[in-house]
């Protein structure tokens, strides 16, 4: 069960971690190679953090909640970068179109002005300086002004031609970046959908872990109680039985000893008293005997 959660958590966090590190701007600056290395490093760190807390249901649930909360922000960040990039692409398309239009207009004017300049130069060569005026559009220019005008048009054409080339170059780069961001956005949205579809399952898995932990603790506590009670019952019952038998045996022995000793002591004392009395020259009143005992004659006793 733990390995299942690890696998799902790792699969679900790939897109999120990529978005967190790349975030549109980082992708444009760092480039795909460095960005991939950054993603791998951060992803490894996050996975290690998750693995370190995989057995803690509370920590795991917090991880899932944090991952779920990260998706909208990361997706919004990538969408924002993509929208900004698309706007830049649109502006570059327009700038290139304007530049290309300026180049076309300049070339069209040069196509009209250059023949007039060539004709005026030819007239100047044959000494017709007065006739060497240049007509361009609705205006007439002197040869010198027409020459300057043509040079300005050439400079404008060359400048906008370079501008159109730069825009085309930048468009290729930005369009590649837009493709990467679109792929990243699609990956994030796919990851989010997969994560949401698995979230309830993951939550149930976390609940199962928590229940198992509580059950294990409860069973360990009960087993400990059962073992203690069983050990106490067995030891206490045996000890009580043995103790009672021991006490009873000792008491019976003591009773038997006391009873025998009392009888022996009575006979010995009575004998001593009788001998002492006989020694005095006569039989005197004997001491009272226990009930049932009657003295028949001196020196003998019967019941």
CA atoms of 48 and 248, how far apart (whole Å): 70
Element (H, E) at 297: strand 294-297
Cβ contacts of residue 75 below 8 Å, gap of 6+?
Answer: 19, 185, 188, 189, 192
Cβ contacts of residue 299 below 8 Å, gap of 6+?
Answer: 274, 278
Asked whether residue 282 is domain-assigned, the answer is no
CA atoms of 50 and 60, how far apart (whole Å): 7
- pLDDT of 92: 94
DSSP assignment string, 228-254: HHHHHHHHHHHHHHHHHHHHHHHHHHH
- pLDDT of 20: 44
**b/e string for 64-90 if b means 16 or more Cβ within 10 A?**
beebbebbeebbebbeebbeebeeebe
Asked whether residue 106 is domain-assigned, the answer is yes
- pLDDT tens digits, residue range 36-86? 554 455 455 555 555 555 556 677 767 777 877 888 989 999 999 999 999
Asked whether residue 192 is domain-assigned, the answer is yes
Asked whether residue 283 is domain-assigned, the answer is no
- pLDDT of 103: 95
- pLDDT tens digits, residue range 179-209? 999 999 999 999 888 888 777 777 777 777 7
DSSP code for 282:
S
- pLDDT of 236: 59
140, 133 contact by CB (below 8 A): yes
Asked whether residue 271 is domain-assigned, the answer is no
Count structural domains, the chain: 1
- pLDDT of 7: 42
Element (H, E) at 295: strand 294-297
CA atoms of 156 and 106, how far apart (whole Å): 7
Q: In the chain, which stretches have pLDDT less than 50? A: 1-30, 34-35, 38-39, 42, 282-284, 286, 288, 290-292, 294-303
What domain range is 201 assigned to?
A: 2-223
Note the pTM of the prediction, 2 decimals: 0.46
Asked whether residue 141 is domain-assigned, the answer is yes
Asked whether residue 233 is domain-assigned, the answer is no
Asked whether residue 37 is domain-assigned, the answer is yes
CA atoms of 78 and 101, how far apart (whole Å): 34
CA atoms of 3 and 295, how far apart (whole Å): 103
For 97, what's the count of Cα atoms within 13 Å in the CB-facing half-sphere? 6
- pLDDT of 91: 95
18, 187 contact by CB (below 8 A): yes
- pLDDT of 184: 93
Question: What CATH number does the domain containing 50 carry?
Answer: 1.10.287
């Amino acid at each position: 069960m733990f390995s299942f959660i690890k696998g799902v958590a790792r699969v679900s966090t790939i897109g999120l971690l990529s978005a967190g590190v790349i975030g549109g701007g980082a992708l444009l600056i760092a480039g795909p190679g460095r960005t991939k290395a950054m993603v791998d490093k951060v992803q490894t760190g996050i996975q290690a953090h998750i693995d370190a807390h995989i057995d803690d249901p509370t920590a795991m649930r917090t991880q899932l909640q944090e991952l779920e909360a990260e998706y909208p922000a990361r997706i919004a960040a990538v969408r924002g970068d993509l929208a900004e990039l698309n706007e830049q692409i649109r502006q570059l398309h327009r700038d290139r179109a304007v530049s290309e239009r300026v180049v076309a207009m300049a070339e069209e004017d040069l196509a009209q002005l250059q023949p007039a300049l060539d004709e005026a130069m030819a007239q100047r060569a044959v000494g017709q300086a007065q006739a060497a005026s240049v007509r361009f559009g609705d205006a007439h220019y002197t040869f010198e002004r027409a020459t300057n005008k043509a040079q300005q048009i050439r400079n404008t054409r060359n400048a906008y031609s370079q501008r159109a080339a730069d825009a085309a170059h930048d468009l290729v780069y930005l369009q590649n970046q837009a493709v990467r961001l679109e792929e990243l956005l699609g990956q994030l949205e796919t990851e989010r959908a997969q994560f949401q579809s698995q979230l309830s399952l993951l939550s149930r898995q976390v609940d199962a872990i928590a229940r198992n932990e509580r059950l294990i603790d409860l069973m360990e506590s009960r087993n400990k109680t059962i073992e203690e009670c069983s050990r106490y019952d067995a030891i206490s019952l045996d000890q009580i039985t043995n103790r009672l038998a021991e006490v009873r045996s000792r008491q019976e022995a003591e009773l038997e000893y006391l009873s025998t000793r009392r009888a022996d002591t009575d006979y010995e004392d009575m004998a001593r008293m009788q001998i002492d009395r006989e020694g005095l020259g006569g039989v005197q009143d004997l001491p009272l005997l226990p009930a049932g005992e009657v003295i028949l004659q001196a020196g003998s006793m019967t019941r």
